Structure 1
Amino acid sequence: MHTHNDTDMKTKKRVELEKLRSICDPAIFLFETTEDVTKETEEIIGQKRAVEAVEFGLSVEQQGYNIFAAGPSGTGKTTFIQIKAAAFAKDKSTPNDWCYVYNFENPDRPLALSFPAGKGVEFQKDIANLLMEIKLELNRVFTDEEFNTKKRLLVQSLENNIDQKWKDVENYANTLNLGIEKSDTEIATFPIRNGKSLTDEEFNELDEVEKKNLKKKREKVQEKVNEILAEIQKVERNITRILNNLIKTILEESTTPFLSILKTKYKRNQSIIDYLESYGADIVERFSIFIKKQKANKDNLLESLLDEDAKLERYTVHIFVNNAGKEGAPVIYETNPTYQNLIGKIEYKNSLGSLVTSFKRIKPGALHLANGGYLILQASQLLRKPNSWEGLKQMLKTNCIIIENISEENSVIGKAGMKPESIPLNVKVILIGSPYYFELLSSLDEDFYKLFKVKAEFHAQMERNDEHIEKVVSFVKQFAEKEKLKPFHRSAVAVLVDYSSRLISDQYKLSTRFQDLTKVLVESSYWAVRENAEIVESQHIEKAIQKQTYRSNYIEERLRQLIIDGTLMVETDGEKIGQINGLSVMSTSEYRFGLPSKITVQTYAGGGGVTNIERETSLSGQIHTKGLLVLSGFLSGVFAKKRPIPLSASITFEQTYNMIDGDSASSTELYGLLSSLANVPIKQGIAVTGSVNQWGHIQAIGGVNEKIEGFYYVCKEKGLTGEQGVIIPQQNVKNLMLNQEVIEVIKDGKFHIWAVETIAEGIEILTGICAGHNRNEEGSFPDGTLFRKVEERINKMYETKKSQPKTRTLKPYKRR
């Protein structure tokens, strides 16, 4: 049996101590604490590609060059974009003010007027002063003696005319021996005899002929009365027309000077000139609201004042967007991008069971406030809000903002509808989100690429070089000063740099997720304060990391305890055939940890191939199923060049009841399969991770540090033997950033890490037997090697299959 290769392979493939993690030497820093650091950085660190994309997107003025900033959370992209947009905004002109005013020709379509920044308020004051001056002037005119004299003469003329006509009717009635009696409700006639009206008794004594004559006379008088009433009404209308014309003439003469002043001031804006023309004409037409009622008691005084304000509201200005006092373009970060918060809304109030509104109840949205500048939105929030994405698209495509209350379509209560005039839109929109949202929008919405032509891709990692380390130091200094933290010693910064590499499991990279680093900075300063330290030392950083882990690893400790007490069957000592420890990574929302699982394999003669028990029970994901199919490819390629393998095998993760996916255990499953076929035991103190291809080459996996540490802690609890360790892919050596405890144990020779490139190398470490995977000149594997044992087992399966009697197919009996 070829066992000599065991020690050689273990030694050859053992990962050297210096490759277990990268260590930042504090001596590379020229400062003692971050207080001594003078160089600061304003740019986002390690995102050169994204920075160039953002600058390009912010600089291009053409339509459609909005920006989608894609990348993982915590990289600082939102803060960077806000700062960058603000820097660009400083050099841009301040956008115009916008006002809504009453549309005298179409009240349901308020007019939008534009003014240079700060001039909107000025126009509002001008109109307010205009209204006040007109009210004062009209009050003066309407109380002027000349006007009242003309008015009184017209009224007197009307009254004299009416009196004369009534006298004519009365005289006519007298000639018929009838009198006329007028009241508020009716006009009555009565008979007269000898200059006196008849009493009811005297009237009843008249004979029927006289009564019939009186009736005919009354009818004649009534005809005269009706004629006179019609004439009176005609006279009244004529007098009213004359009076109104008089008032309008006076109004035009009174208001024209005030309006002319504003027309001269705003002569360059035709929209305002047109508005002032309509303004003056409407005042002339609706002069009655300016005439104070003579009767106003205490009970209805407040009501009359409120009513007057409501009537005069049409002559005011609604400041919609006010940029007075602002410099440069606006930068708006809308954190709640509902449709109304984006597009604006029209507010309503209840009036007699109906919802009514006015142009002064139009409210701006984020697009109005950002118009002429930059609007920053979170893609995830935008897509969660009904109609927001479609609304934003529509505004960007049409380059104007149209305010519509989309809720009106589904409203049960009647509303007074209003559609304000649209406002031209010129805004740069920056969407921020994960790559998932970028792919989602680009694949499902054909308008996305037309509107967001610039992609700024932020990455979670950057090169671990002197330049980036120096920028990390500047970041630590700036953050500490901003948050009023204790200064950080250079040894603490060195540990933080290593922790940054640990976050992304790469010795040659640093994490750009500075949000994760800031949590450590804050907590380490806290522990320094608790210990009355003046500066943050390396031990404070390490304590902060340990405490963060402690707050999050309850589930890990609970599962590990189930292994320790034997509930979950994982062995860390001895040897077993067809049994091996695989490693997987489990995670919560903020914590990842590794955990060993027992994988078992049974092989037997047959033709069913490799059966994945998880797949048969719908607990296997597609990638895991693919990994198992690769095993069949490897076995067929190595052992079935000339004939198919008469093999049946079943593989399962023992005591797992959740979905299993990923192919990082495919090499582990293949080791177990080879062990079962060769009838050679596997050392249970060694756990394995790594995927495999059909040629037996080991491929890289993720979570290598968590997997190693997870198995180490189980071995530690069950007892370290000095023979335990983990086999990893050679490609993952650069990803090793193990914690100090594991490194110390490895340094003492109580735990080991092996990095392999092929299945043959791994199986030799696991079994202590030479793999012998290269065939000799006769085409056979060397005697005593593991591959020879596998092939001999397969040959026996062939012989067993050949010796089995062939089943005859009975033909149906035919009656002759």
Structure 2
Amino acid sequence: MTKIVTAEPLGAEALGGDFDPDTLGFATTKELEPLDAWPGQDRALGAIRMAAKVPHSTFNLFVLGNAGSGRHEATRAELARAAAERDNPNDWVYVNNFDDPRRPKAIRLSSGKAEELRKVVEKLIDDLANDLPALFESEDYQTRRRSVEEEFSKEQEAAMTELAEKARARSVAILRTPMGFAVAALRDGEVLTPEAYRELPPEEREKIDEAVGKTEDELEAILKHVPKRVKDQRRKVEELNVAMAEGGVDAAISDAMAQFEGQDEVIAFFKAMRKDMIENAELFLIQEEGARAGGFPVATTKHYTKPQFQRYLVNVVVSQADGQDGAPVVVETLPTLSNLIGRIEYISHQGTLVTNFTMIRPGALHRANGGYLVLDARQLLTEPFAWDALKRCIRTGEIKIFSAGERLSLISTVSLEPDPVPLSVRVVLVGERILYYLLTALDPEFPRLFKLEADFDDIVPRSPETRELFARLSASIVRREGLSPIRADGVGRLLLESARVADDAERFTLNIGKLSDLLCEADHWAREAGAEAIREEDIETAIAAADRRAGRIRELSEDAVARGTLLIDMDGARVGQINALSVIDLGGTRFGRPSRVTARVRVGSGKVVDIERETELGGPIHSKGVMILSGYLAGHCATELPMSLWASLVFEQSYGGVEGDSASAAELFALLSALANLPIDQSFAVTGSVNQFGDVQAIGGVNEKIEGFFDTCARAGLTGRQGVLIPVSNVKHLVLRDRVVNAVREGKFRIIPIGTIDEGISLLTGRPAGDRDSKGAFPEDSVNGLVEARLTEFAEVRRRFGQKRGKEGEDE
């Protein structure tokens, strides 16, 4: 790398450079093999691969990095590769718990068997719905039932006949009335009327009463046995029905059970279903409303859809019957509580909310069980109860369904308590770095449950190898997005812009999203121009168009300077005044703009007043920078004297917050100028931070800062003297726009790197900074000599003032 000479203007070749298309070795990206990997992300991809294979339940993964780095796509691709090598997970279904319907049972089945079980059960119900009614309408059943009913009738009739004969022998009749049976005396074969009864002699009435009473007692004894006989008849009919139902159900269900031999939970379900079907065989005999009589059946075969058969259905929660090969990779884009752990739905029935096991709906954890679940961390953390539910499921190793209303005790509706489903899943969260660090610091459970992190890099070193990888990456983007191929000069310009996005001439950005957006827009301009490939000028047009769309605020700022509203001097010289550079970030754009910094000094007690901090407009980092320059001044000049300086520093016409230390060098230059009473050349702007030893340190946004001052100067008219002083450590970050590079090449603008405050103040004032001689003194006419002389003068004034105040006190 070429050695940078400080305090000397940089040549155009040091401002970011370009790529020679001839060195790329291809005409268009059609000739390149697409890249099926993510360059520069070996560390992150290794972590993802490890998480995909480690079996321990707590080795879940957090994928961290900036948006656009390809985190989501890379994560899905790596997990898909790992999932393809694993066995298909189990299916899960919910079935009715016939002993306690509020607690449905979860059944595990081998892969692909859930849908098979559902269809087998539906066919079983359909078959029984057709066979059982026919069985109960058969001649055999009718004959056996009539036999039971006739047996009861014969017993009852025989008892009543015997009693009737006894009654006649006693001249008593047994009469059937609408209210039941009545007993009355007979006279000459006719029922004795009450009037005739009262006319009889007492002895005869007594005999009649005795006969009637005896008959009533015998009748009552017979009638007392009627309920028992009816019960016996009903029991025999039920036994007959059970026997008939058993035959029909066993014949149908044995075939179904044979298909799931060896799966104990399914066999147990079929046995419980068999018992319930036999006990509730009448469910299959319910006549459908509107059904037609006669030999033509109702035109439907889906009997399992009828309400009375819901109790026997199978609710498929997870099924691998779609031809999936390997473990599932589930990406849940809306990780609400119900979307994660499932939910129980309700329907309104006669003003009441009701539910059953068929209304249990699976969540992402059910679908990902046995595989991988990918979630966006920010979305997850903003959903109520979702984060807590996810941690509980991982910690307990099971999925238990509940609702937010139940958690808060806001509803009293009777609900279900389904069996929890055992959980075996690798959870992958994708989010920003700040979320990972906050969770690590604030949630004690997070480090225990998410033990792996995949940190996606933002940049990759610039080299011939990475240049080739990025060329292939651009070919992949083009093919994926359906764009025109890119010419070699277009790839060169894209790589230059990649370095620009990385804020580093020695690095390429790994923000694939930004590069993809740029190519999509460049493709539009290429098609507008009728070009068959994306050219360098198309990418330039796309960059310029994007800058113009986001340039309204920047143009207003430049206009304020041009019209004199914002006071910025770009020529001449002023004492205690300098142009500092800052970067404004708004939305998706950022730009640099100059600000005037001024300093005033007088005798004082050694305090440097940061007006921004005093007015609460300065942030802590800016305040730190001011304190550092105070430390530099105290340790650099007049070190043997008490600091007797009062100074004020301010960003003129700044009405918003000021943060960062990138202006601390400019503030120190203004302060030295004010102390030395030497004017600063206003043709320069300065950026850089400073330490207590006077070293100028690197800052961010150097490209935007230089371009901001250049555009301001270009609008007023370039003089050839204008330029920017930057830290020498920022030279490697320079990737400037062509307008600045061309102006430097033509000698119209200067960019000068500096390494120390002494180098900078010499350039700004045209006066040597000065070094101490063997006696420890600065040259009198140097900047440092003048500053030290001024500080010494302040100390002497302060001393004399103190003596005078002391003498006045003694006189008094």
Whether TM exceeds 0.5 here: the answer is yes
The runs of 5 or more residues in structure 1 that have no matched partner are: 1-8
**Tell me, what secondary structure is at the counterpart of 1:496?**
helix
Q: Does 1:82 align with 2:76?
A: yes
Paired position in structure 2 for 1:572? 570
- Aligned partners of 2:63 and 2:71 also within 8 Å: yes
User: 2:616 & 2:204 partners in 1: Cα distance?
Assistant: 116
Q: CA deviation at 1:552?
A: 0.9
Q: Which residue of 1 aligns with 2:387?
A: 389
Q: Within the alignment, does 1:125 sit opposite 2:119 as a pair?
A: yes
Change (3 A) 1:230 1:571: farther
Q: Partner of 1:488: helix, strand, or coil?
A: coil
The aligned residue for residue 559 of structure 2 is: 561
Report if the CA contact (8 A) 1:501-1:511 is conserved: yes
Aligned to 1:734: 732
Say if 2:451 is the partner of 1:453: yes
Worse-superposed segment, 251-260 or 109-118 = 251-260
Residue 611 of structure 1 aligns with which residue?
609
**Counterpart for residue 42 of structure 2:** 48
The one of 481, 484, 493 aligned to 2:482? 484
1:778 is aligned to 2:769: no
Structure 2 unaligned spans of 5+: none
1:237 and 2:231 matched: yes
**How far did 1:199 drift?**
8.1
Match of 2:365 among 367, 383, 398: 367
Give the partner amino acid of 2:58: G
Task: Kindly indicate whether the alpha-carbon contact (under 8 Å) linking 1:354 and 1:414 is maintained by their aligned counterparts in 2.
Answer: no
> Shift of the alpha carbon at 1:306?
9.2
Counterpart in the other structure of 1:21:
16
* Cα distance between partner residues in 2 of 1:149 and 1:200: 48
Q: Deviations over 1:51-103 (max 9, x none)?
A: 22222222222332222111111011211111121122222122222222111
Deviation, 1:336, is 0.8
Preserved CA contact (<8 Å) 1:117 1:322: yes
Match of 1:677 in 2: 675
Provide the C-alpha distance between the structure 1 equivalents of 2:188 and 2:594, rounded to a whole number of angstroms.
133
Q: Deviations over 1:121-155 (max 9, x none)?
A: 22222222333333344223312222212211222
In the TM superposition, residue 757 of structure 1 has moved relative to its aligned partner by 0.8
Instruction: Determine the C-alpha separation between the residues in 1 that align with 2:529 and 2:605.
Output: 69
Return closer, same or farther for 1:55/1:306 CA change in 2, 3 Å cut-off.
closer
In 2, Cα distance between equivalents of 1:62 and 1:295: 57
Q: Is the contact between residue 592 and residue 709 of structure 2 (CA under 8 Å) also seen in structure 1?
A: yes
Q: Report the 3-state secondary structure (helix = DSSP H, G, I; strand = E; otherwise coil) of the residue aligned with 2:306.
A: helix
Equivalent in the alignment of 1:707: 705
Cα pair distance change 1:430/1:297, threshold 3 Å: closer
- CA separation of 1:420 and 1:579: change in aligned 2, threshold 3 A: same
- Identity rate of aligned residues, in percent? 35
User: In 1, are the aligned partners of 2:129 and 2:303 still within 8 Å (CA)?
Assistant: no
What is the distance in 2 between the residues matched to 1:295 and 1:357? 24
Tell me the number of residue pairs that the alignment of Structure 1 and Structure 2 aligns. 799
Q: Structure 2 matches for 1:150-165, cutoff 5 A?
A: 150-163=144-157
What amino acid is the match of 1:643? L
Aligned to 2:284: 290
Where 1:651 maps in the other structure, the secondary structure is: strand
Look up the equivalent residue of 1:280 and give its one-letter code. R
**Cα deviation, residue 591, structure 1:** 0.5
Distance 1:783 1:735 in 2: 38
For the 8 Å contact 2:778–2:785, the answer to whether it is kept is yes
- Structure 1 residues 154 and 596: CA distance shift in structure 2, 3 A: same
1:638 paired residue number: 636
Using the alignment, how far apart are the partners of 2:250 and 2:637 within structure 1? 106
Matched with 1:320 is 317
Aligned to 1:806, what secondary structure does the other structure show? helix
Residue matched to 1:4: none
What residue is the counterpart of 2:588 in the other structure?
A: 590
1:694: how far off? Answer: 0.7
Equivalent position SS for 1:720: coil
Superposition CA RMSD, Å = 3.2
Structure 1 residues 794 and 143: alpha-carbon distance in aligned structure 2, compared to 1, 3 A threshold: same
Task: Report the equivalent of 2:690.
Answer: 692
1:708-753: CA deviation from partner (whole Å, max 9, x where unpaired): 0001111111222221111110100000011110111111211111
Is this contact kept in 1: 2:6–2:728, CA < 8 A? no
2:755 pairs with 1:746:
no
Give the letter for the 2:227 counterpart.
Answer: Q
3-state SS of 1:568 partner: coil
Residue aligning to 1:439: 437
- With 276-285 and 205-214 compared, the bigger mean Cα shift is at 205-214
The one-letter amino acid paired with 1:145 is: E
The equivalent residue for 1:806 is 805
The two structures have a TM-score, normalised by structure 1, of: 0.91
Determine the C-alpha separation between the residues in 1 that align with 2:110 and 2:437. Answer: 41
Does structure 2 conserve the Cα–Cα contact (< 8 Å) formed by 1:639 and 1:645?
no
Aligned to 1:3: none
Structure 1 stretch displaced more, 207-216 or 290-299: 207-216
Distance 1:314 1:603, change over 3 A: same
- Is the contact made by 1:179 and 1:191 (CA closer than 8 Å) also made in structure 2? no
CA gap 1:50/1:292 in 2 versus in 1, 3 angstroms: closer
Task: For 1:26, give the aligned amino acid.
Answer: P
Partner residue of 2:27? Answer: 32
CA distance in structure 1 between the partners assigned to 2:290 and 2:229 by the alignment: 30
User: How does the TM-score come out when normalised to structure 2?
Assistant: 0.91
The letter of the residue matching 1:648 is W
Over residues 377-435 of structure 1, what are the superposed CA-to-partner deviations in whole Å (9 max), with x where a residue is unaligned?
Answer: 11111111111112111222222222223323446554231122222222222211111
Q: 1:764 aligns with which of 762, 765, 769?
A: 762
Give CA deviations for 1:163-204 in whole Å, capped at 9, x if unaligned. Answer: 455667777888686764532x66677887766568899999
Residues of 2 paired with 1:641 and 1:211: CA distance?
A: 148
Tell whether the 8 Å contact from 1:764 to 1:771 is kept in structure 2 after alignment.
yes
